[in-house]
Amino acid sequence: MAIASVETALADFQAGRFVIIVDDEDRENEGDLAIAAEYATPQAINFMAREGRGLICVAMTGERLDALQIPLITSPETNTAVFRTAFTVPVEARHGVTTGISAFDRATTIRTLIDPDTRPEDLVRPGHVFPLRATDGGVLSRAGHTEASVDLARMAGLYPAAVICEIMRDDGAMARRSDLERFAARHGIRIVAIADLIAYRRRQERNANRFWYQAVQMVEHTAANVCAPDQQPVDQAALPDAGTWTGAASEPVMAAAKQNGVQFTQQENAMGRTFEGHLVGAGMKFGIVISRYNDTIGKELLRGAQDTLIRHGVARNDIDVAWTPGAFELPQAARWMARRTEGAVQRAYYDAIICLGVVIRGATPHFEYVAGQAASGIASAAFETDIPIAFGVLTTENIEQAFERAGTKAGNRGAEAALAALEMANLRRVLASTGEG
């Protein structure tokens, strides 16, 4: 299997899928299974233990580890490991675990590590989960699997933490490039190279160093005006976009500038405006409609959706869940939730709705009928109510595929639907605030 582009790897990471991170052949020459920490389900941890066979670690930022008071096992000065891997004291969640080593317990500990409400006392030391401290600057500072996985999570818009595990061969030796390619093909996982990630960041990011500094002086300076061939006193500053400096944050700057003879004008972007929905859910409310049929898998989709919303700032008590008998009934329940209002102005109660379910092909045409009706009905509900409704219904050939799409090696469809709902809810707000929606 060929090396995937960084863009493709980022899309997989954001969707909760595994990627394999490989370094140079003259370094460790190894590959690590990696998945964003937000998607570290018990099934994902079990897959890493069963198929990867290496040590399962959580790559995290130094800032987060410091906040949780998780120290390095050894100081950088006394770290004599070949590649200076920054292991910290292993930890475990204080609550919700038994022995701490099971896939379920380790997944609980990982969720605890990235929960913004977690405090140092919510963890016990030592434990069975091994945090790794990523170097500030990511792969631009250290070309390691730890930094690469945190960079992928950050650039994918997720919590900057990832679970990684070295891949070993059946005979216990470390898997090398040809072994990793066979592993990737067998499990349908893409490979991304750290070298490509470094090159990608260098293309996308601009790093500036300050070579000269002077405090503001309220005197007239002469400067070159790029719009004119001669030099003249600065009397005008053109803002590149009409919406760049607006609101309360700009007022002190504008006032001080005008007091000293600077006049500001605004220029519209000749390319028009771009509207995007971000992935911040603070203050938002979401409704989840889920089918009870195949509820073992459905509960994993629900957990993936709830965890994703919470990780992006949605309060737990702002996520409501409604259960339906099957996928066929999802559109009707979605309409009911979308039409719920509050306040004197009858504002929509939910910012978005998420529909979850599992439809598995059988020996009759029932699959096509139910899946088709669910898809078209959910789309119609969104159009009728003008509320974003995300489609998170799994339609698979067999139950094995369904389990893979519910939090193991192929991501979690519930988490993907939650991200789509977040983005659409925010895009709706952006467009409404500009009069475009």
- Strand, coil or helix: what is 123? strand
Phi and psi at residue 424, to the nearest 5° = -70, -40
Which residues are known catalytic residues?
366
Rounded Cα distance between 16 and 40, Å, is: 9
CA–chain centroid gap for 223, Å, is 44
To 5 degrees, how large is the angle CA 104–CA 288–CA 41? 15
**DSSP bridge partners of 124:** 92
Rounded Cα distance between 327 and 304, Å, is: 18
Nearest-Å Rg of the Cα atoms of the chain is 25
Report the DSSP pairing between strands 161-167 and 31-36.
antiparallel
Q: Of 320, 266, 279, 327, which Cα lies nearest the Cα of 424?
A: 279
Rounded Cα distance between 363 and 365, Å, is: 7
The first and second tokens of residue 241, run together, are 């976009």
Q: Of 52, 50, 53, 70, which Cα lies nearest the Cα of 61?
A: 70
Supply the DSSP symbol for 3.
B
Distance, first Cα to last Cα, the chain: 44
